């Protein structure tokens, strides 16, 4: 019988936590201080090492950590509330648990998390995050203006970057069906269980030894000291990963044009250098021919499937451009067929001819993963694992997660300009 989730199927391939601690101790320590435990997703992301690198670059840089903990940038309670709201809108119960405890630790009130009471600023954040968390995104210019009545554009962008980060995390955790940590369940089940939250596919065992629900601690001076103690080691790793990448928009665009052949115009809208540097590095690494295990033609097809499912015209055009640049031998008729496959109802979807088994399995996974929540089921798991190895599966899911992050960014800036 097939495993219920991809994570269950790939559990034996996941990287041992002891190895992760040896290789990335500061990164794991930083996350533990932020939410109280090390997430179960880490061993899966490291199956394809660029996946763990992608995650480790995006989390601190799109959350403005550790600076945000001491009051630099958007209010950290609003950031946490936006992350939680987007996760619930996307239907990712794993991330909903993590972001609930993150928001509470950053000072969000239980009433704000459950929606019982919101200040005007909280209501603006919740409205924007909910709209961006849906697929397709439903954000309007009025919602953007409402947020900017309470925050200056730079701080508003930090909220959006946090919601975009959750696009990456929501998609990876939900598609893989990562097992939720008992510490997370204990932290949040009493508070958000009555709102409709449940562990769902993220609880693999019928009986869990869940510790008694304790008080979720808010940030204190000792929190800041522990976080800043981890920062130097994490920064050394980040410096190694981002070598050769600038946080200046012009330089980042030139690097991407030189190494990928495409400059991703979304960068022209970003204000914060650390987010530019992290995003440019992530795109460079995820589209590097030396790193891919499924092939760049497959990744272009996956990008088209995701863009069509979420109805994002900018991402659709980008997927076609990437195919022209990175997969020049890919028959345009195949891309047309992939686009039709993405939009066809399940029983009518026909995989185009001319694809390898790897490419066919990749677009099957992409079609199931692109909805929110994902529609990956036992049949998908069985089909995909027959033709993709563990590293290829993680690579495809990480790439779809990157695309969901970009989708939320495009949706925000289009709405801000009144294009939606």
> Could you tell me if 309 and 238 lie in one domain?
no
Helices (H), 91-140: 93-105, 110-114, 120-133
In a domain, 261, yes or no: no
Q: What's the domain range around 163?
A: 17-244
Could you tell me the pTM of the whole model? 0.97
In a domain, 303, yes or no: yes
> Could you tell me if 215 and 328 lie in one domain?
no
For 268-297, the DSSP string reads GG---HHHHHHHHHHHHHHT-TTT-SS-HH
> Could you tell me if 74 and 135 lie in one domain?
yes
As averages over each run of 10 residues, the pLDDT of the chain (420 residues) reads 84 97 94 94 98 97 94 96 98 98 97 96 98 96 97 96 98 98 94 96 85 83 90 93 96 96 93 97 98 98 98 96 96 96 90 96 98 96 97 98 98 90
Give the integer Cα–Cα distance in Å for 9 and 133.
Answer: 28
> In this structure, is the dihedral angle defined by the CA atoms of residues 233, 238, 244 and 250, taken in order, positive or negative?
negative
In a domain, 133, yes or no: yes
> Could you tell me if 200 and 342 lie in one domain?
no
Give the integer Cα–Cα distance in Å for 62 and 84.
Answer: 15
> Could you tell me if 236 and 327 lie in one domain?
no
Q: Which of 215, 244, 273 is the last residue of a domain?
A: 244
> Could you tell me if 231 and 361 lie in one domain?
no
71 C-beta neighbours (distance < 10 Å), count: 8
Q: Which residues of 341-366 are buried (b: 16+ CB within 10 A; e: fewer)?
A: bbeeeeeeeeebeebeebbbbbbbbb
pLDDT at 2: 56
> Could you tell me if 35 and 131 lie in one domain?
yes
Q: What is the CATH number of the domain that holds 313?
A: 1.20.1290
pLDDT at 214: 67
Number of domains the chain is built from:
2
Q: What is the CATH number of the domain that holds 195?
A: 1.20.1290.10
Q: Which residue has tokens 């919601």?
A: 163
pLDDT at 154: 95
Give the integer Cα–Cα distance in Å for 143 and 125.
Answer: 9
> Could you tell me if 171 and 300 lie in one domain?
no
pLDDT at 1: 45
Task: Classify residue 13 by its DSSP letter.
Answer: G
Give the integer Cα–Cα distance in Å for 393 and 364.
Answer: 11
244 C-beta neighbours (distance < 10 Å), count: 8
> Could you tell me if 40 and 187 lie in one domain?
yes
């Amino acid at each position: 019988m097939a495993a219920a989730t991809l994570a269950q199927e790939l559990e034996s391939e996941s990287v041992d936590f002891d190895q992760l601690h040896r290789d990335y101790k500061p990164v794991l320590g930083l996350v533990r201080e932020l939410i109280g435990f090390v997430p179960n997703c880490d061993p899966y992301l490291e199956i394809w090492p660029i996946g763990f690198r992608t995650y480790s670059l995006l989390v601190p840089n799109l959350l403005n950590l550790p600076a945000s903990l001491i009051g630099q940038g958007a209010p950290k309670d609003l950031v946490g509330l936006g992350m939680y709201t987007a996760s619930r809108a996307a239907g990712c119960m794993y991330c909903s648990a993590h972001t609930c405890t993150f928001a509470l630790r950053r000072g969000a009130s239980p009433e704000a998390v459950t929606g019982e009471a919101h200040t005007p600023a909280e209501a603006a954040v919740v409205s924007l995050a909910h709209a961006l968390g849906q697929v397709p995104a439903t954000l309007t210019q009025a919602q953007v203006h409402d947020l900017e009545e309470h925050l200056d554009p730079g701080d508003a962008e930090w909220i959006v970057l946090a919601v975009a980060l959750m696009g990456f995390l929501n998609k990876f955790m939900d598609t893989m069906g990562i097992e939720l940590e008992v510490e997370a369940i204990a932290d949040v089940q009493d508070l958000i269980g009555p709102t409709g939250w449940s562990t769902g596919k993220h609880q693999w065992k019928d009986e869990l030894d869940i510790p008694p629900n304790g008080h979720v601690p808010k940030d204190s001076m000792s929190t800041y000291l522990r976080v800043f103690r981890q920062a130097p080691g994490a920064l050394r790793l980040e410096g190694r990963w981002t070598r050769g990448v600038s946080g200046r928009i012009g330089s980042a665009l030139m690097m991407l044009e030189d190494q990928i052949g495409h400059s991703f115009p979304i960068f022209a809208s970003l204000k914060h250098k650390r987010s530019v540097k992290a995003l440019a590095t992530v795109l460079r690494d995820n589209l590097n021919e030396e790193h891919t295990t499924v092939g760049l033609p497959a990744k272009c097809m996956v990008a088209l499937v995701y863009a069509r499912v979420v109805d994002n015209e900018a991402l659709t055009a980008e997927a076609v451009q990437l195919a022209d640049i990175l997969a020049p031998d890919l028959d345009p008729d195949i891309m047309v067929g992939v686009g039709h496959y993405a939009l066809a109802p399940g029983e009518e979807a026909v995989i185009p001819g001319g694809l390898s088994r790897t490419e066919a399995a990749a677009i099957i996974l992409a079609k199931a993963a692109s909805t929110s929540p994902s529609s990956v089921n036992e049949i998908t798991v069985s089909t995909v694992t027959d033709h993709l190895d563990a590293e290829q599966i993680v690579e495809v899911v990480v790439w779809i997660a990157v695309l969901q992050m970009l989708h939320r960014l495009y949706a925000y800036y289009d709405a801000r300009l009144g294009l939606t």
